[in-house]
Every structure is written in structure tokens, then in C-alpha cells.
Amino acid sequence: MASARFTPLALNDLKEIRDFIAKDKSGIASQYMTMLKQKCELLASSLGLGVQIEEYCKLYKFPVDSYLIFYRPSQTGIDVIRILHGNRDIDSIFNSQR
């Protein structure tokens, strides 16, 4: 069965998202994390969902609410590279990681 593996950066992104949501809505934060992880599992079992972005090393981008899941297909499903809020400077973030 295909699965979603999370890079350390993606795990850190999830933690930051959880902490941000928990400031105002502590009960919803863990539910939101579960939903994001379920979306990643969906992506793992349905390869090719989203848009492939050439300038980000051909990563796929998939929107979930205000967030963007960046992933790469792998032999076992997908590798989730980052999960970022859509209002962030995505170009700057990815260019600084090169």
C-alpha cells in the first residue's frame, strides 16, 4: 500500500501549523493535523494529483484550504517535502533551500 513519508522540514511545518492553530483553537489543531495527513495519504494513493512545478525541482503542489502540500512521487507512495501557507513567499523559501 502506498504511503506518505514526511521530510524533517515537512514535519516541522506540521508542528508550526499545529502550534499556530492551537493559539486560537486548541481543540481544532489536532483535528486539522489529522486532515492534512489524510490528504497526504490520498496523494500517495492517487499519484499525479496537483500541479507539477518545474522551477521547484518538478515537485507537485496540491492545495488544502490555505496550505500547499509540496511532494515528490516515490517508489512507496510520496515524499512530502514541505507544507506551507499559500501567503508565504514560496519562491524565496524554495530558492533558499537550493
Which pLDDT score, from 0 to 100, does residue 97 have?
Answer: 60
Question: Mind giving me the DSSP string for 2-31?
Answer: -EEEE-HHHHHHHHHHHHHHHHH-HHHHHH
Supply the range of the domain harboring residue 19.
3-96
Percent of the chain with pLDDT over 90: 70
Query: Angle 8-24/26-45 helices, nearest 10 degrees?
Result: 150
CATH code: domain of residue 28: 3.30.2310.20
Cα(59)–Cα(40) distance, rounded to whole angstroms? 14
Cα 56 vs. chain centroid, distance in angstroms?
14
pLDDT in tens, 40-84: 999 999 878 999 998 888 899 999 999 999 999 999 999 999 999
Number of domains forming the structure of the chain: 1
